[in-house]
């Protein structure tokens, strides 16, 4: 399936931008009359026919539209402190999108080694992963924000904090998940005691992701996969 990202698609005809036109005509060697698929990142999956195989402005005719393609009855949100090595965060974004994620927030914590973040490249990685895994929904990527700001405005009743302190923590597998959940993942040095107490005061519940000490990006991906699995099990139960 040849899949192209077209976020501004709003009519029965469309012209691919120059990069996508070149890729479709020069690289994939598609020609007039060939069929391709488009996704708008908002759940729309489209089938289109090439009407003008111009390598700079490939023209398309939309012939079919499937709304809410692959829509899931649950919502997974991971809030994570970016790693010092940005490659590791790029890996997490790519794999989380492939598995299934609806929103990613980036947190600046007391122990964070990365205090700034350009989400532009992460957005491109998310788009590529969406296309590769044949999804029609592009996850929302939020800009880096202070931990305190995030916990003060989140829905605490549906939010969990995964930390390493020896507190009374449930496994995320045992947690009662709701239709929309958020899991907080700390930086390499874990959340500070101050941040953990702040989360508790908001009503955020502590969880563990298992007996192993995980890297930040691994923990975030484990949380993403576990949340998906718990929801899928709930959907499958009679």
Say if CB 237 and CB 177 are below 8 A apart: no
* Residue 94 near residue 76 (C-beta atoms within 8 A): no
CA distance 92 to 5: 21
The CA distance from 110 to 81, in Å, is: 10
For domain 75-236, give the fold.
Answer: Alpha/beta knot (3.40.1280)
The mean pLDDT value for 168-194 works out to 89
What distance in Å separates the CA atoms of residue 186 and residue 108, rounded to the nearest whole number?
9
CATH value of 3-66 in 1.20.1200.10, 3.40.50.300, 3.10.105.10, 2.40.240.20: 2.40.240.20
Where would I find the beta strands (DSSP E) of the chain?
Answer: 3-5, 13-15, 35-39, 45-52, 59-66, 75-80, 103-108, 140-141, 145-146, 159-162, 170-171, 180-185, 205-208
The yes-or-no verdict on residue 144 having pLDDT over 80 is: yes
What is the overall mean pLDDT for the chain? Answer: 94
pLDDT at position 238 is 58
The total number of residues written for the chain in this structure: 238
What pLDDT is recorded for position 237?
62
| Res 236 pLDDT > 80 | no
When pLDDT is cut at 50, 70 and 90, the band that residue 167 belongs to is confident
Q: Which residue has the higher pLDDT, 233 or 121?
A: 121
- Under the banding of pLDDT at 50, 70 and 90, the label for residue 15 is very high
> Could you identify the residue written with the tokens 């007996």?
211
Q: Could you give the CA distance from residue 216 to residue 223 in angstroms, rounded to a whole number?
A: 11
The answer to whether 84 and 108 have CB atoms below 8 angstroms apart is no
Pairing of strands 35-39, 13-15: unpaired
Tokens of residue 70, six digits: 């692959």
The partner residues of 191 in beta bridges, in order of sequence, read: none
pLDDT number for residue 175: 75
> Where are the chain's structural domains?
3-66, 75-236
Tens of pLDDT, residue by residue over 93-106, are 999 999 999 999 99
Q: Per-residue pLDDT for 190 more than 90?
A: yes
Average pLDDT rounded to a whole number, residues 75-98: 97
* 0.85 surpassed by pTM: yes
What's the rounded mean pLDDT across residues 35-55?
A: 97
Residue 168: predicted pLDDT: 82
Q: Average pLDDT in the 43-68 region?
A: 97
For residue 234, is pLDDT > 80? Answer: no
pLDDT of residue 131: 95
Higher pLDDT pick, 87 / 235: 87
Mean pLDDT of 147-164: 95
Euclidean distance between CA atoms 83 and 88, whole angstroms: 7
């Amino acid at each position: 399936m040849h899949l192209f990202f077209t976020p501004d698609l709003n009519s029965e005809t469309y012209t691919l931008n120059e990069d996508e036109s070149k890729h479709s005509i020069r690289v994939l060697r598609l020609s007039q009359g060939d069929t391709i698929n488009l996704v708008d990142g908002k759940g729309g999956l489209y089938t289109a026919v090439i009407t003008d195989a111009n390598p700079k402005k490939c023209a398309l005719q939309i012939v079919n539209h499937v709304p809410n393609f692959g829509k899931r009855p649950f919502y997974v949100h991971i809030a994570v402190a970016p790693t010092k090595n940005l490659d590791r965060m790029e890996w997490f974004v790519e794999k989380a999108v492939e598995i299934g994620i609806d929103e990613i927030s980036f947190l600046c914590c007391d122990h964070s080694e990365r205090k700034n973040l350009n989400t532009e490249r992460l957005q491109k990685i998310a788009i590529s992963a969406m296309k590769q895994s044949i999804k029609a929904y592009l996850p929302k990527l939020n800009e880096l924000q202070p931990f305190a700001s995030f916990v003060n405005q989140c829905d605490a009743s549906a939010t969990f904090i995964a930390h390493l302190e020896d507190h009374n923590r449930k496994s995320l597998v045992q947690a009662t998940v709701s239709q929309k959940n958020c899991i907080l993942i700390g930086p390499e040095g874990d959340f500070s005691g101050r941040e953990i107490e702040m989360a508790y005061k908001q009503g955020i519940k502590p969880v563990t992701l298992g007996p192993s000490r995980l890297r930040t990006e691994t923990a975030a991906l484990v949380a993403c996969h576990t949340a998906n699995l718990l929801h899928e099990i709930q959907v499958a139960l009679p």
